[in-house]
């Protein structure tokens, strides 16, 4: 009954385990969750207020498909200020219901059947199915723990064929927390120009970064005309459920994405777009406070993990995930995650959910309280004591 295109796609493994943890909690089990893919902070007050005001004013109708011009202007300003990139808000910016929708539209806009799209691996769970739904072929470029999960130009070059159409860049990275290096991105940009590739740069964690400067690949020489930069409000402003994201790219690509959007979702939610303006133009204090808190939690979690026998974890430079190596315990990561959930009451995401290179790893989100992090560490330590490791 179901079309091949959809049958090719696996269900989201991250949603699977979080659902199981929630079900156990609902049964009254004491579960500490490090599974979250969203900040545990509330949306800042001034952003909420702008939404209430918009609804009160009756701003409840369809908007232009690419989003209200006021928000597209604020987004263009943001690109100028933060990323030294200049975009025409009328032609080169689109507002979408979540960064995820922008990513899907971007992939649909550039992929012909059989085209290969490079994806650095381990990778965020939705890239592979999105490429499959677009009838493209996902091709993975490995990144390794002992290199801090950086994406190297050498590994990218190895995977380029005459079918390669584009590359997905995700820095700061989910699940590894890596921030790709400027010198690597420069050489990857040269490869994109040499082989006529389009970069889709998912910068949703741009603002959640610790000791590094964020680099937009579109700002590197020759890249503005061949990059679709994706960003959104979910992580920086704690607005995951609001569904608001955006993309900037040359007019031809934005027009193509707009065609998909017009015929699928029509437009992003009207009053949520007003709140987006408030988020970008209003005070950034809540964001800064959240990042300070994430940094403290990261240090406690990562140091704690490295103290556990047989476990190693590189210090993530961005996002709010630790990607820790448990391969000494020799289990498949789905089994290990299940065991930790059932025996220790700790919910984590199996590394293999992020591609086969994630096998042996567990992703732990520190978008949860310091108390939860410390409790989880204790429980994991105790649970692992009873397990043999190599």
Return residues touching ligand PLP (CB under 6 A): 37, 98-100, 124, 170, 174, 202, 204, 232, 234, 240, 245
For ligand PLP, the closer CB: 63 or 176: 176
- The whole-angstrom distance between residue 289's C-alpha and the CA centroid of its chain comes to 21
Helix, coil or strand: residue 349: strand
CB of 226 to ligand PLP, least distance (A): 20
For ligand PLP, the closer CB: 124 or 149: 124
For ligand PLP, the closer CB: 124 or 366: 124
For ligand PLP, the closer CB: 212 or 240: 240
The token pair at 135 is 């009838």
CB of 279 to ligand PLP, least distance (A): 12
- Cβ atoms of 170 and 120 within 8 Å: the answer is yes
Select from 98, 119, 114, 318 the least CA-distant residue to 201: 119
- If residue 312 lies in a helix (H) or strand (E), which one and from where to where? strand 312-313
CB of 238 to ligand PLP, least distance (A): 11
The token pair at 85 is 């990139």
- Cβ atoms of 229 and 203 within 8 Å: the answer is yes
CB of 175 to ligand PLP, least distance (A): 8
For ligand PLP, the closer CB: 98 or 136: 98
CB of 128 to ligand PLP, least distance (A): 13
For ligand PLP, the closer CB: 322 or 380: 322
- In the block, residue with structure tokens 């490429």: 131
> Which residues of 122-177 form beta strands (DSSP E)?
137-142, 164-170
- If residue 231 lies in a helix (H) or strand (E), which one and from where to where? strand 227-232
CB of 174 to ligand PLP, least distance (A): 4
Distances, alpha carbon 355 to alpha carbons 29, 120, 189, 326, in Å: 30, 10, 25, 16
CB of 109 to ligand PLP, least distance (A): 17
For ligand PLP, the closer CB: 100 or 298: 100
User: Which 8-state DSSP code applies to residue 94?
Assistant: E
Alpha-carbon distance of 137 to 163, in angstroms, equals 9
- Cβ atoms of 165 and 111 within 8 Å: the answer is yes
Name the residue whose CB lies closest to ligand PLP.
Answer: 98
- The whole-angstrom distance between residue 72's C-alpha and the CA centroid of its chain comes to 22
């Amino acid at each position: 009954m179901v079309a091949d295109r959809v049958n090719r796609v696996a269900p989201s493994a991250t949603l699977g385990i979080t659902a199981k943890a929630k079900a156990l909690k609902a049964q009254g089990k004491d579960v500490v969750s490090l599974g979250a893919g969203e900040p545990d902070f509330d949306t800042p007050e001034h952003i909420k207020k702008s939404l209430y005001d918009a609804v009160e004013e009756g701003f409840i109708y369809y908007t232009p498909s690419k989003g209200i011009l006021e928000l597209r202007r604020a987004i263009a300003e943001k690109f100028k200020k933060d990323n030294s990139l200049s975009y025409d808000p009328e032609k080169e910016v689109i507002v979408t219901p979540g960064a995820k929708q922008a990513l899907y539209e971007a992939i649909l806009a550039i992929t012909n059947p059989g085209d290969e799209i490079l994806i650095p691996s381990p990778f965020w769970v939705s890239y592979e199915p999105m490429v499959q739904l677009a009838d493209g072929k996902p091709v993975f470029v490995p990144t390794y723990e002992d290199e801090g999960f950086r994406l190297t130009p050498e590994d990218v070059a190895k995977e380029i064929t005459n079918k390669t159409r584009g590359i997905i860049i995700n820095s700061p990275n989910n699940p590894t927390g890596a921030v790709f290096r400027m010198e690597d991105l420069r050489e990857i940009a040269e490869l994109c120009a040499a082989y006529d590739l389009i970069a889709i740069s998912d910068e949703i964690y741009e603002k959640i970064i610790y000791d590094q400067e964020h680099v937009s690949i579109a700002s590197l020489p020759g890249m503005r005309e061949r990059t679709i930069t994706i960003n959104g409000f979910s992580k920086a402003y704690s607005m995951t459920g609001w569904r608001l994201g955006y993309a900037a790219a040359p007019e031809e690509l934005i027009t193509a994405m707009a065609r998909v959007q017009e015929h699928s979702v029509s437009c992003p939610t009207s009053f949520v777009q007003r709140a987006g303006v408030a988020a970008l133009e209003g005070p950034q204090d809540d964001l800064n406070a959240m990042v300070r808190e994430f940094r403290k939690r990261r240090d406690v979690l990562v140091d704690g993990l490295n103290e556990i026998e047989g476990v190693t974890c590189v210090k993530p430079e961005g996002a709010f995930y630790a990607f820790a190596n448990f391969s000494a315990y020799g289990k498949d990561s789905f089994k290990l995650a299940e065991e930790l959930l059932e025996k220790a009451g700790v919910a984590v995401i199996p590394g293999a959910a992020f591609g086969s290179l994630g096998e042996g790893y567990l992703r732990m989100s520190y978008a949860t309280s310091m108390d939860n992090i410390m409790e989880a560490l204790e429980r994991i330590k105790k649970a692992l004591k009873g397990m043999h490791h190599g």
